[in-house]
Amino acid sequence: MNFLKNNIGYVSMFVAVIGFGSGPPFVKLALQEFYVMDLMAVRFSLAFCLMLIFALIMRADLKIKKIGLTPFLMGLLNPFLVTLSFHVGLLLTSPVNGVALISTLPIWQPFVARFFLKEKIEIKVIIGAFITIIGTLILLTSQTKSGQGNYIGDLIIFLGMICVSINEVLGRRFMQTKVDQLGVNTYQYFIGAILSLLVLFVIWPNSSFEFKNYLNFSPPVLAAITLSCITFGAYLFYNFALRRVPVGRISLMYPLTGPIGATMSWLIIDAPISTKVFISLAIILVGTIIPQINKSS
């Protein structure tokens, strides 16, 4: 019990990483029955309701006047555009490729910060990026040759990761104003839900929804419900960890999404995993850890 109490932040981040890694295989399973926008509407609507209930319980400040309009832009980027890119990408490629690309996130953030905030890029970041690119190329190439991957799907997911990085850079600046973080994220998922429903019912009214069939709780329906809980739960554990674990340590744990996600893909949808996949994930892990060496907490 003392170990758990003393390391609750790390345990929370590990649970969040499991959530991040579990997302792509559950998306792949849910898309067997849902159209992309159907799944996004269900996922974000349920996640927003859970988030709103939790925010009200925690008495978060939800006044738009206090929070401002930035969370609405952040909500457009993440979760809406990020999730859209992942859902479309996973129609074409393997969830193993998806979790591998997620695990590379820490390596791209310094480059995005350089572009938007003019932050200096250290030489170890460049070395880490080079190693990460090698590992990623090995994985994506081997997956495509085996018929499990697709370069176009991988590219679409990668564009989503760029949106994540841009959102985090915006969020870093915005959170310095000391707004209520729970309130900000509640509005982000509100925007995700509203935009998904707007596309689904107004812009492109093309739905796969059949109420009677969904009452049967088929595996894709259960996957969609699970995704909503993962979206909500992973956020809670991640933000709980942020308050208790140095940012540098968070960055060290994030790349674990790759091997954990690959394992979850095998368990959930029986995705084939080769030795080369884990070797390439190990290379990616090394590449993303190098920039964090001797980094100040």
Closest CA to 224 of 4, 67, 38: 38
Q: For residues 289 and 270, what is the distance between their CA atoms, to the nearest angstrom?
A: 29
pLDDT of residue 6: 74
161, 104 contact by CB (below 8 A): yes
Domain ranges of the chain: 23-292
Q: Please, is 154 exposed, middle or buried when counting C-beta atoms within 10 Å of its C-beta (0-12, 13-18, 19+)? A: buried
Q: Please, is 297 exposed, middle or buried when counting C-beta atoms within 10 Å of its C-beta (0-12, 13-18, 19+)? A: exposed
169, 109 contact by CB (below 8 A): yes
Closest CA to 278 of 269, 286, 290: 286
Report DSSP state, residue 245.
S
Q: At which residue do the structure tokens 């107004």 appear?
A: 202
Look up the pTM and report it. Answer: 0.88
pLDDT of residue 212: 54
Mean pLDDT by 10 residues, the chain (297 residues): 75 89 93 90 92 92 85 90 95 94 87 82 90 93 92 95 85 70 87 93 74 69 90 83 70 82 91 89 90 65
pLDDT of residue 63: 87
